[in-house]
Amino acid sequence: MRMTERTLIIIKPDGIQRRLVGEIIQRFENKAAKIVAAKFMQVPEELSRKVYAVHKGKPFFEPLTKLLSSSPVLVIVWEARNVIDITRKIIGATSGFEAQMGTIRGDFSCSTRYNLVHSSDSPESAEYEINLFFRPDEIVDYELTDEKWLYCEND
Ligand code: CMP
């Protein structure tokens, strides 16, 4: 059986400015991801630098962190079986030009920087990134009633 996991996604400033919040959330819900925490916020630059710490030293680090702090974002923790892999497939490749049509970036982004959504890329980064934005008591444990219609015993 696939593991129930949590991941963090950030609808970045360009996603908010382009009014794509509903469209983006819908795609994760379509694939049975469940919201367990959410925050609409302006990200302080210090926090942006922590989110993107793995990219420190790369030429795009400064513009990337400045962009994340330039305008509000929506940060969401999603829970589902295999959700880290699923969200990355839904979002698509980093560049909007490379991303497959049908993915969020493939359908809406024409840029590497303005690529609308960030998501954790591994269980370790999910834990690190969730902890940057949420205290444990801000994450809600609850059941949705459709699970028996989503998964079978071999999943
Ligand atoms: P994201 O998924 O938020 O994680 C790291 C971000 O760095 C990535 O999306 C892009 O927005 C950005 N990024 C990665 N590679 C480049 C690049 N070559 N030039 C500019 N930005 C980049």
d(CA 146, ligand 1 centre) in Å: 35
Give the confidence band of 44 by pLDDT, cuts at 50, 70, 90: very high
- In this prediction, residue 1 carries a pLDDT of 73
Of the candidates 32, 138, 139, the one whose C-alpha atom is nearest the C-alpha of residue 80 is: 32
CATH of the domain at 48: 3.30.70.141
- In this prediction, residue 19 carries a pLDDT of 98
Q: Show the domain range for 115.
A: 5-149
Question: How far is residue 141's CA from residue 4's CA, in Å, rounded to a whole number?
Answer: 13
- Give the bridge partners for 40, in sequence order: 74
What is the arithmetic mean of pLDDT over 75-87? 98
d(CA 58, ligand 1 centre) in Å: 10
Of the candidates 136, 120, 38, the one whose C-alpha atom is nearest the C-alpha of residue 83 is: 120
Residue 39's CB is within 10 A of a number of other CB atoms, namely 14
Give the confidence band of 111 by pLDDT, cuts at 50, 70, 90: very high
Whether 127 is covered by a domain: the verdict is yes
Q: Which of 9, 10, 60 to mutate to test the pocket of ligand 1 (most atoms within 8 A of CB)?
A: 60
Whether 155 is covered by a domain: the verdict is no
- In this prediction, residue 42 carries a pLDDT of 98
